[in-house]
């Protein structure tokens, strides 16, 4: 009998999951340099010559990909998944992949998922499917806005308070009119914060400077440096990093090479300190550059960011805490009020809460929010059967890494390999957690475990699929040439 697969979400991960599932015969419902931000078997248009394409070019590329591989007919637009609920005739207090019969196979003869969907201007519809692939993303829908004491929050502010998500949804002309000749304060210092602040500063100029308010300083990385970093993603660089479940030889080799790794990160710090006047703008970093990379907090600044700071259209201001008043913000340790008309929170999203909310089962909700352990192969939760999560894990190039995981998942659904027992999967993810925590410290996130070992992770996926993990033609390129998307083309067929 034909198995039904539902893919929730039609972003990058959803498109990839759909494309590779279709190749295996299933019928699903549904700032990175250009050389790395691409699909393995679909090149950018020759008209795109920029190293860093803009958002319109990226959208056109994704649309062309969906059209080329005939993915659009599989997508049900204007539909929103309200909830998913797992059902099996067996009475189980602690469900897991063992419910599939303990065989490690993707499907169960009895277990099904009920997918409740709201279609625009139609009643709720419930689909019964054999496997669910969640591709709902991390950076949308559920903004993370700090809590404030009573009478010290946005409710007493006479101005406007929004999240960066709302600002991005306005589009160019509407956003420009919204901030025109207004005093704008952007809260945060991650990617969306510096992008929004630089854009506001460029549009309003020195006459109405934008304030970027932050609590913790992060290393600011220029675009050209990011290009160099990608060119160093090779096997030799990964030999400097201890990896979980490896023998004494590789551990000893990593130990001997670790001074090179440490020296490289320190040289990066020296270069960035020399490039930017850190002390002048109170931007002296509080943590090593390596910790920021391992914690997926690396931030590429817009090309005009430093120019806006120097000319005075962008003001950097550090404060441990703040509260609202009628005409602006009261900063910790400052007597004067920061007068402002608009506050834009660029403070991230509640990604774990968003993911857990889609489950009806309290047990499955707790599986997501009650543990810091990563997912097996970064997409399988050992305790949630017949389900995969794509697009949750972070990396230096999401498109590239998600494609390999989508290939892996397609092989699994096609029955080309089986999952190990639940206990073995849980032991594996705990080893990864322990390995990465030694670098990330309190910055550890389970969604960010493979930044330093992306080739090693892809090797594991290749071996599971029965494919050769060595993707280069001979030894020297294999060790020292950069790995990228095109190295993993045609992994949908073993060999």
Q: How confident is the model at residue 495 (pLDDT cuts 50, 70, 90)?
A: very low
Choice between 280 and 322, residue whose per-residue pLDDT is larger: 322
5-30 confidence digits (pLDDT tens): 878 876 777 777 777 777 777 666 54
Domains and CATH numbers, the chain: 5-139+351-488 (3.50.50.60), 143-218+297-348 (3.50.50.60)
CA–CA gap between residue 282 and residue 276 (Å, rounded)? 11
pLDDT at 84 over 60: yes
Lowest-pLDDT range of 119-128, 147-156, 337-346: 119-128
Please compute the mean of the pLDDT values over residues 281-297 and round it to a whole number.
80
Between 109 and 187, residue with greater pLDDT:
187
Phi, psi of 54 (to 5 degrees): -85, 175
CB neighbours of 21 closer than 8 A, spacing ≥ 6?
Answer: 5, 7, 28, 133, 409, 410, 413
Higher pLDDT among residues 75 and 255, named by residue: 255
Cα(309)–Cα(123) distance, rounded to whole angstroms? 52
- Side-chain half-sphere exposure of 270, counting CA atoms within 13 A: 6
Pairing between β-strand 337-339 and β-strand 131-134 as defined by DSSP bridges = unpaired
Give 393-443 pLDDT, tens digit per residue. Answer: 887 777 778 899 999 999 999 999 999 999 999 999 999 988 888 888 877
Summarize pLDDT for 454-489 with one digit per residue, the tens: 999 999 999 999 999 999 989 999 999 988 888 888
Residue entry with tokens 């997926």: 296
Provide, rounded to the nearest whole percent, the portion of the chain with pLDDT above 70.
92
Name every residue whose Cβ is closer than 8 Å to that of residue 217 and which is 6 or more positions away in sequence.
189, 282, 283, 284, 285, 286, 318
Burial of 137 (0-12, 13-18, 19+ CB in 10 A): buried
**Structure confidence by residue, pLDDT tens digits, 20-71:** 777 777 666 545 666 767 888 888 888 888 877 777 788 888 889 889 999 8
pLDDT digits (tens, 9 = 90+) for 376-402: 999 999 999 999 999 888 877 777 788
What are the two backbone dihedrals, phi and then psi, of residue 491, each rounded to the nearest 5 degrees? Answer: -80, 0
The answer to whether 397 and 37 are in contact (CB under 8 A) is yes
Q: What pLDDT is stored for residue 32 in this prediction?
A: 60
- Compute how many other C-beta atoms are within 10 angstroms of the C-beta atom of residue 312: 12
Q: 259 pLDDT exceeds 50?
A: yes
User: CA angle at residue 448 from 26 to 373, to 5 degrees?
Assistant: 85
Task: Determine the pLDDT at residue 242.
Answer: 87
Distance CA 300, CA 292 (A): 12
Length of the chain (residues): 495
pLDDT at 169: 86
Please compute Rg for the chain using Cα positions. 24
Digit-coded pLDDT (tens) for 318-342: 999 999 999 999 999 888 999 999 9
CA distance 298 to 226: 10
pLDDT of residue 492 exceeding 70: no
Beta-carbon count within 10 A of 413 CB:
24
Decide which of 246 and 391 is more confident.
391
| 210-214/184-187 β-pairing | parallel
pLDDT at 494: 47
CA distance 104 to 125: 30
pLDDT band per the 50, 70, 90 thresholds, residue 449: confident
Nearest to 189 by CA among 166, 168, 211, 162: 211
Residue 30: Cβ within 10 Å count: 24
Query: pLDDT class for 88, splitting at 50, 70, 90?
Result: confident
In Å, what is the CA distance from 20 to each residue of 11, 29, 162, 374, 403?
14, 13, 38, 24, 9
Nearest to 346 by CA among 212, 489, 171, 149: 212
């Amino acid at each position: 009998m034909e198995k039904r697969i539902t893919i929730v979400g039609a972003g990058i991960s959803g498109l990839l999951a759909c494309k590779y599932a279709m190749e295996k015969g299933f019928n699903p419902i549904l700032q990175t340099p250009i050389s790395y931000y691409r699909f393995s078997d679909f090149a950018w248009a020759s008209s795109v010559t920029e190293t860093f394409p803009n958002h319109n070019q990226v959208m056109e590329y994704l649309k062309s990909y969906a059209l080329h591989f005939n993915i659009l007919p599989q997508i049900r637009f204007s539909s929103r998944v309200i909830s998913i609920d797992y059902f099996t005739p067996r009475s189980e207090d602690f469900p897991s992949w063992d419910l599939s019969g303990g065989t490690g196979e993707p499907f169960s003869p009895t277990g099904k998922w009920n997918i409740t969907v709201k279609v625009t201007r139609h009643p709720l519809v419930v689909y019964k499917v054999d496997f669910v692939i969640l591709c709902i993303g991390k950076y949308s829908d559920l903004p993370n806005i700090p809590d404030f004491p009573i009478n010290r929050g946005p409710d007493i502010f006479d101005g406007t308070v929004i999240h960066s998500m709302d600002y991005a949804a306005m589009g160019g002309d509407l956003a420009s009119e919204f901030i025109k000749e207004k005093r704008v304060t952007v809260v945060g210092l991650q990617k969306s914060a510096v992008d929004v602040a630089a854009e506001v500063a460029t549009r309003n100029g020195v006459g109405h400077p934008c304030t970027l308010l932050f609590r913790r300083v992060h290393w600011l990385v220029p675009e050209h440096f990011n290009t160099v970093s990608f060119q160093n993603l090779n096997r030799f660089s990964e030999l400097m990093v201890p990896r979980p479940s490896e023998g004494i030889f590789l551990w000893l080799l990593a130990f001997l090479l670790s001074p090179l790794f440490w020296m490289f990160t320190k040289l990066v710090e020296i270069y960035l300190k020399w490039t930017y006047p850190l002390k002048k703008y109170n931007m002296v970093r509080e943590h090593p550059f390596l910790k920021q990379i391992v914690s997926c907090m690396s931030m590429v600044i817009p090309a005009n960011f430093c120019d806006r700071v120097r000319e005075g259209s962008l003001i950097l201001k550090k404060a441990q805490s703040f509260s609202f008043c009628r005409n602006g913000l009261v900063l910790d340790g400052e007597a004067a009020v920061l007068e402002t008309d608009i506050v834009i929170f660029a403070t991230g999203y509640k990604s774990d809460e968003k993911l857990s909310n889609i489950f009806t089962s309290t047990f499955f909700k707790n599986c997501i929010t009650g543990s810091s352990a990563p997912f097996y192969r970064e997409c399988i939760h050992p305790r949630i059967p017949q389900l995969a999560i794509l697009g949750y894990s972070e990396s230096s190039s999401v498109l590239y890494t998600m494609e390999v995981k989508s290939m892996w998942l397609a092989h699994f659904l096609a029955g080309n390999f089986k999952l190990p027992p639940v206990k073995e999967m849980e032991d594996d993810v705990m080893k990864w957690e322990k390995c990465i925590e030694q670098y990330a410290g309190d910055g550890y996130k389970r969604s960010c475990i493979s930044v330093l070992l992306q080739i090693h992770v892809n090797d594991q996926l290749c071996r599971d699929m029965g494919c050769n993990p060595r993707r280069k033609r001979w030894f020297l390129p294999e060790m020292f040439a950069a790995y990228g998307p095109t190295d993993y083309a045609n992994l949908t067929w073993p060999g």
